Amino acid sequence: MVSRKRVFVTTSHGAGKDHKEKAKAFASEHGYDYVSRQKIEDISRLVNDAYVYVFSKNRILSVFHEGTELFFHPSVAKIRMLNIQHGQPDHLISSLSLDSTTTVLDTTLGLGTEALLIAAFLESGSVTALEKSEHVYNVVRIGLEYYPYRNRWMVEAASRIKLVRSSYKEYFADREDASYDVVYCDPMFEKPKMRSSSINALRPFASSHPPSESDIVQMKRIARKRVVFKVRETDRLFETLLSIGFEYERRTSNDIFFLVAENT
Ligand SMILES: C[S@@+](CC[C@H](N)C(=O)[O-])C[C@H]1O[C@@H](n2cnc3c(N)ncnc32)[C@H](O)[C@@H]1O
């Protein structure tokens, strides 16, 4: 039998009544254990054997596990949008070939950075974003909804994202052919890039199985126009994608590529 690690929910020290209420409601919705913060002396002593959620004013909702804290923050999306506004190309946005009505299935939500950026370009379109990991999904769902955005584009973009907690494997089974214009997949790299600090925070919580060839066939079936992958050249997936007809679209750094398969 697989033993499930315990999950505790608490608040930051000195949290107000509203944070306590939110934490209790969240714990009860998910069947986790609510613990008042006064009863937890040191979160770091709990987090090897458990996941600990903390509601706070600054970070809205964090989850701690194995010495790592995961919380939602749109700063990378903000920087990438500023670069685009200053005329620099964004390799993801160019590879997706969006127009304002495109419907996108982001099969790997992660921190939600790219879903947010994509949604900014879809005035009448939408992004459906899937996440398999329970804890990544929880943190990003609540973060996307309650983050105190200072930019109008982020508020609008966040409202165009529909989150689904599911593995793409199960999600694909119920989808008709050509259900979305574009399908995007950004799996965890097999060999981590240690410099990517935001993705490193995701690692203890994320699901890291790469997509199989049959998952990729399903992505092609569901996409009306194109399937786009972000992949590292050193990962086995890179060769698999090239062998089944994906082509180079963009190279972001020395060894990270956007590969595309067109359906039209
Ligand atoms: C590299 S991250 C994606 C980063 C994302 N593009 C962003 O902007 O933050 C990959 C994410 O895909 C999730 N994932 C892995 N396998 C999955 C699956 N079968 N179904 C759905 N999500 C999956 C992982 O848990 C992880 O959160």
- Three-state secondary structure string covering 142-196: HHHHHCCCCCHHHHHHHHCEEEEECCHHHHHHCCCCCCEEEEEECCCCCCCCCCC
Closest ligand 1 atom, residue 77 Cα: 8
Contact between 174 and 150 under an 8 Å Cβ cutoff? The reply is no
State whether the beta carbon of 136 lies less than 6 angstroms from ligand 1.
yes
Give the pLDDT of residue 211. Answer: 97
Predicted confidence band of residue 197 (pLDDT cuts 50, 70, 90): low
State whether the beta carbon of 202 lies less than 6 angstroms from ligand 1.
yes
**Higher model confidence: residue 199 or residue 162?**
162
Closest ligand 1 atom, residue 106 Cα: 6
Ligand 1 centroid–CA 207 distance in Å is 7
Ligand 1 site-directed mutation target among 63, 105, 132, 203, most atoms within 8 Å of CB: 132
CA dist 17 and 200 (Å) reads 33
Question: Within a 13 Å sphere around the CA of 187, how many CA atoms are in the beta-carbon half?
Answer: 22
State whether the beta carbon of 235 lies less than 6 angstroms from ligand 1.
no
Instruction: Name the least confident of 206-220, 224-238, 244-258.
Output: 244-258
Domains of the chain: 6-71 (3.40.50.10480), 75-262 (3.40.50.150)
Ligand 1 centroid–CA 120 distance in Å is 20
Residue nearest to atom 16 of ligand 1 (CA): 207
CA dist 184 and 168 (Å) reads 11
Predicted confidence band of residue 198 (pLDDT cuts 50, 70, 90): confident
Predicted confidence band of residue 249 (pLDDT cuts 50, 70, 90): confident
Which one, of 169, 90, 80, 156, lies nearest residue 125 by Cα?
A: 156
Give the pLDDT of residue 201. Answer: 87
State whether the beta carbon of 108 lies less than 6 angstroms from ligand 1.
yes
pLDDT at 2 over 60: no
pLDDT at 57 over 80: yes
Mean pLDDT on 109-120: 97
- Supply the DSSP symbol for 125: -
Ligand 1 centroid–CA 41 distance in Å is 33
Burial class (CB in 10 A: 0-12, 13-18, 19+), 176: exposed
Predicted confidence band of residue 69 (pLDDT cuts 50, 70, 90): very high
Residues 147-173 pLDDT 10s: 999 999 999 999 999 999 999 999 999
State whether the beta carbon of 188 lies less than 6 angstroms from ligand 1.
yes
pLDDT at 209 over 80: yes
Mean pLDDT on 125-142: 97
State whether the beta carbon of 133 lies less than 6 angstroms from ligand 1.
yes
Residues 80-96 pLDDT 10s: 999 999 999 999 999 99
Contact between 117 and 81 under an 8 Å Cβ cutoff? The reply is yes
Backbone angles phi, psi at 34, to 5 degrees: -80, 135
**Higher model confidence: residue 191 or residue 107?**
107
Ligand 1 site-directed mutation target among 70, 81, 108, most atoms within 8 Å of CB: 108
Contact between 61 and 89 under an 8 Å Cβ cutoff? The reply is no
Mean pLDDT of the chain: 92
Give the pLDDT of residue 195. Answer: 65
User: Would you tell me how many other CB atoms lie within 10 Å of the CB of residue 168?
Assistant: 24
| Reported pTM | 0.95
pLDDT at 230 over 70: yes
